[in-house]
Structure 1
Amino acid sequence: MYIVTGGAGFIGSNIVQGLNARGISDILVVDDLTDGRKCLNLADANIRDYLDKDDFLRRIQAGEDFGTVEAVFHEGACSSTTEWDGRFVMAVNFEYSKALLGWCVARGVPFLYASSASVYGMGPTFREAREFERPLNMYAYSKFLFDCHLRPQLAAIPSQVAGLRYFNVYGPREQHKGSMASVAFHFNNQLNESGRLRLFDGCDGYGPGEQLRDFIHVDDVVAVNLWLLDNPQVRGIFNVGTGRAQTFNAVARAAINWHKGGGIDYIAFPDHLKGRYQSFTEADIGALRAAGYDKPFMPVEDGVPRYLDWLAQRA
């Protein structure tokens, strides 16, 4: 059996699809379906069982077994960067992850978990080292603290443990995220509705729409997760991005080209984001490459049309 927490969410449901593509359906999905719309992410998936995240945690804390578990993909979390209820975020992200890590280590089960590039704050260096980490919100802090909790233990843990610091992920099965969905998703909706895109004006020395992010297609994220599954000797904390920052304008152009038309309107940069906005992110993927991952990553010129093809097929 494979366990995927957050398995009805964005990255988790794509990992389920990746396992299905390998002919694997013996999967336990753990999630919170208070928002029942997330079930649509699993409607075309094959899984064995489902457990609510609180029921699963109780069973983990009680030391229950689930038969032979091949690996745990821990993608479940409160991912809202605007959630400031620290007790809630720490319970859901930090304490939950610690409990699941302990359960996996005690049984020798590979533990592959979602960290976040948000731990680096404003950057400008995005490398897996303490001196470059300065989280700016509760979500980022909870992810950062779990990485800090793991680091001194890692060398003594005999089974595989790997943390993946995802950068700006976009692609299928993110529609439930609302305002937290990727710009590619929002650009597609804007073009469908009005034929015009809205991008921020210049800030931090960048021109209109020229702010840079490391945009990575979710299929590449799944490929890294499955590569780790195939290489249990690899352990540690790794950035998962393309290693190449691209502009919001580049994403916009990719969407406009796919729609065969459209325009861009640049809107005033919001006052409340000034000094708190990541105008540049770019993953240093040296550690991932050194560990042996050698597959190429899709640029937005390839990834955005691939995503919009998927959305069009389901419209």
Structure 2
Amino acid sequence: MAKRLIVTGGAGFIGSNIIHALNQRGLSNIIAVDNLTNGDKALNLSDLAICDYVDKDVFYDALLDGHYGPIDTIFHEGACSATTEHDGRYMMASNYEPSKKLLTYCQRTGTRLLYASSAATYGASTSFTEDPAHEKPLNVYGYSKLLFDQIVRRALPGLGTQVAGFRYFNVYGPREQHKGGMASVAFHNFNQFMADGCVRLFGQYGACQPGEQMRDFIAVNDLVATKLWFFDNPGQSGVFNLGTGRAQPFNDVAAAVVNTVRAHRNQPPLDLAAMVRTGVLEYTPFPDKLRGRYQCFTQADMRALRGTGCNVGYADVAHGVADYVRHLLRAQPGHTP
């Protein structure tokens, strides 16, 4: 039997997509680790093939005790990902401490570690290159990810096994329905449009006009394809950005959502001005609680990742969000193929 794989955060958005992709390769000797206090997350596992499920509160120490036998690779996606969480002790206990235990285990056993970092490590920076000079987190979530990246960087010269961290930018796609307020803007815009006939974005903030805040939006399928490229190339280690390398405004996401649904209904597309004029797109006042804590622009510098030879292609918003919306439409009650 092939060595086991572990996916922490396995019932979550990205973790469950990784398991899905591994299943498509015929791999099912997978331990999924998560916290199912939010039981709706279990639905992300219901159509997947795994060999075991383990609660995160017992997993990490049991792993260090050798409870699970030989492990080939750990995909570490488990974390508290709420950028609005202010309890620093909880954040570090959830994100930093478990990651350190995994690194210790992998150093000791030769198990490979492919882990999730975050573009939140850049925070207030206007440059998004994997360099300490540009790492300025705005919240304890970003700091929890940065601190582990720093530990990995110090360990890299002496590592005998693959350890690769990936700074995710703005990810969207299937299996994020349990995330509530932390789900992607594409998911929220779709549900707003289906329920109310309009989508809502933040209004003007600083130098950004309404809806013109720009992010590097990446489809989860493209993100997973990149992780599996590293899985196939165990000689590549480091800390890498993982976005598309292309910043686009939230207005582009709203337009892709609206016009994909309109095409599904055999209606003609609307340009941005028509969306605003007809009330299909509304702008809400920028929330006070996010002032000074909000990234108005992100764009992954992809040179380090591309330097490994990784040649995965990345969809732009028009194509990636449209594919996602068609997936959401197929999942609607009463849909007939």
User: Which residue identity does 2:39 align to in structure 1?
Assistant: G
CA deviations 1:103-159 (Å, max 9, x no partner) are: 111110110000000000122101101010011111111100001111111111010
User: Which residue identity does 2:48 align to in structure 1?
Assistant: A
2:325 corresponding residue in structure 1:
308
2:335 corresponding residue in structure 1:
none
2:185 corresponding residue in structure 1:
183
Matched-pair contact (CA < 8 Å) for 2:9–2:76: yes
Measured after TM superposition, the shift of residue 259 of structure 1 is: 1.1
Q: How does 1:61-76 map to 2 (within 5 A)?
A: 61=64, 63-76=65-78
Measured after TM superposition, the shift of residue 58 of structure 1 is: 2.2
5+ long unaligned stretches in structure 1: none
Q: How does 1:150-189 map to 2 (within 5 A)?
A: 150-189=152-191
1:7 corresponding residue in structure 2:
10
5+ long unaligned stretches in structure 2: 268-274, 333-337
2:46 corresponding residue in structure 1:
43
2:228 corresponding residue in structure 1:
226
1:281 corresponding residue in structure 2:
298
1:16 corresponding residue in structure 2:
19
Instruction: Tell me the distance in 1 between the aligned counterparts of 2:57 and 2:285.
Output: 42
Measured after TM superposition, the shift of residue 65 of structure 1 is: 4.2
2:107 corresponding residue in structure 1:
105
1:299 corresponding residue in structure 2:
316
Other structure's SS at 1:193 match: helix
Q: 1:94 aligns with which of 90, 93, 96?
A: 96
2:252 corresponding residue in structure 1:
250
CA deviations 1:67-120 (Å, max 9, x no partner) are: 332210000001111112111111111111001111111110110000000000
Measured after TM superposition, the shift of residue 308 of structure 1 is: 1.3
Count of paired positions: 314
Matched-pair contact (CA < 8 Å) for 2:118–2:167: yes
Using the size of structure 1 for normalisation, the TM-score is: 0.97
Measured after TM superposition, the shift of residue 295 of structure 1 is: 2.0
2:28 corresponding residue in structure 1:
25
Cα RMSD, aligned residues only: 1.1
CA deviations 1:37-81 (Å, max 9, x no partner) are: 0001011111111000011112024x2142332210000001111
Using the size of structure 2 for normalisation, the TM-score is: 0.91
**CA 1:209–1:216: 2 relative to 1, 3 Å:** same
Q: Which has the larger radius of gyration?
A: 2
Other structure's SS at 1:237 match: strand
User: Which residue identity does 1:14 align to in structure 2?
Assistant: N
